[in-house]
A and B are shown apart, each in its own frame.
Chain A
Amino acid sequence: MNIDKKIADDLVANDISFVTTVPCKQLAGVIEEVEARDEIFHIPSNKEDEGMGLCAGAWMGGKRPAIIMQNTAIGVTINTLATLIQYYRMPLPMLISYRGELREPVACQVEMAVHTKALLAQMNIPTYHFHKQSDVEELDMILKYTFMCNKPVAILTDANFWGGYGDQ
């Protein structure tokens, strides 16, 4: 299974046509796939809170959005999640590269990894953790759930899910 293609397929199948991204090494393949899809307008953002603003606007304009980002950005976006996405009750699937988990080679990444789930829990954000490749099978249901309840929903995807870092 090519998980990058599978993720992009699920986004398209759920009518998600506006995707903003801030890159992460683990997400390079899925970002490339999103960029290649005609059904998706891909707009890279410079910071994740900016990206959430773009998504909020796109949703009010009638498009289903998604953001692809790294878990370190949870530290950047708490205020935006609380006072924009949640306060105005907007749906936002967040496909998050979960750095600092098993098979992580960079020690500093662990420093935000240990806060990631606690922060998401504190924010009452429904959170799913993809650890094995087969976990991706739930993505379609998670996306449907997100647009059913109009909430931000986090999908944490760790290094083991992506198949490790190779030689890094």
Chain B
Amino acid sequence: MIRSEILKDIAPILRDQLVVCNIGIPSQELHAIDDQPTNFYMLGTMGLASSIGLGLALAQPKTVIAIDGDGSVLTNMGSLPTIANNVADNYILMIIDNGSYGSTGDQPTYAGKKTSLAKVAEACGCENVIECRDVDTGEVLQKAIDSGKMHVLVVKCDSGNAKMPVITMDPVVIRDRFMKAVSA
């Protein structure tokens, strides 16, 4: 499966949760598949989805799912120790690991070579780190939500992108709509 197929698969689960979605094609895909006020789309700033998600989870009680990518986690790897040492049990970091920089033309990342992001997360001190297959994403994600424990999920999947339109919504509109959903 490629990322867009996974997102289609888990859209019914994501719909009821606060979602912080990674920059580029991941946000475009999620936006096209199932746009919700509970989705925060990153239009810039590669790498910070996991940090924004953690800050949001620490600040309020609703479940937060950050949809990140392998390339983005590699660019902000310092986020993992911060996550490990500031446990928010309403936080799930879901890394869609397709072993490539999808938004820039599928160049390979080191996560698709020797580097295991699940092992990195564990070495950083993260608990409940689960590496799973693309087809099991929905089941693993739902279990993580139901557990009420912070999780780091590493979803191994194929490289590739769906052709989706660029998000043209104004960033302040995205943010304002999202904040209203957070506080609703």
Tell me the A residues contacting B by CB distance below 8 Å.
Answer: 18, 41, 43-47, 49-63, 65, 79-80, 82-84, 87-90
How many residues of chain B are within 8 Å of chain A by beta carbon? 34
Q: Can you show 11 pairs from A to B with CB atoms below 8 A apart?
A: A43-B58, A44-B82, A45-B82, A53-B50, A53-B76, A57-B20, A57-B57, A59-B59, A60-B56, A79-B44, A90-B175
CA distance A57 to B183 in the complex (A): 13
CA distance A50 to B172 in the complex (A): 21
Which A residue sits closest to B75, measured CB to CB? A49
- How does the 8 Å CB contact mask read for B31-55 relative to A, with 1 for contact and 0 for none? 0000000001011110111111111
CA distance A63 to B48 in the complex (A): 18
Q: Is the CB of B171 within 8 A of A57?
A: no
Q: Is the CB of B171 within 8 A of A58?
A: no
What residues on B are CB-neighbors of A43 within 8 Å? 58, 82, 86
Q: Is the CB of B45 within 8 A of A83?
A: yes
B166 at the interface (CB under 8 A from A): no
B115 at the interface (CB under 8 A from A): no
What residues on B are CB-neighbors of A57 within 8 Å? 20, 51-59
Q: Is the CB of B40 within 8 A of A60?
A: yes
Q: Is the CB of A87 within 8 A of B59?
A: no
What distance in Å separates the Cβ of A21 from its nearest Cβ neighbour in chain B? 12
Tell me the B residues contacting A by CB distance below 8 Å.
Answer: 20, 40, 42-45, 47-60, 76, 78-79, 81-82, 86, 171-172, 174-175, 178-179, 182-183
Q: Is the CB of A52 within 8 A of B58?
A: no
CA distance A62 to B58 in the complex (A): 10
CA distance A32 to B55 in the complex (A): 21
Knowing A57-B20, A61-B55, A79-B44, the reply to whether A88 touches B82 (Cβ < 8 A) is: no
What residues on A are CB-neighbors of B40 within 8 Å? 60
What distance in Å separates the Cβ of A127 from its nearest Cβ neighbour in chain B? 22
What residues on A are CB-neighbors of B20 within 8 Å? 57
Q: Is the CB of A61 within 8 A of B78?
A: no
What residues on B are CB-neighbors of A89 within 8 Å? 171-172, 175
Q: Is the CB of A18 within 8 A of B78?
A: no
What residues on A are CB-neighbors of B55 within 8 Å? 18, 53-61, 65
What distance in Å separates the Cβ of A161 from its nearest Cβ neighbour in chain B? 29
CA distance A155 to B175 in the complex (A): 26
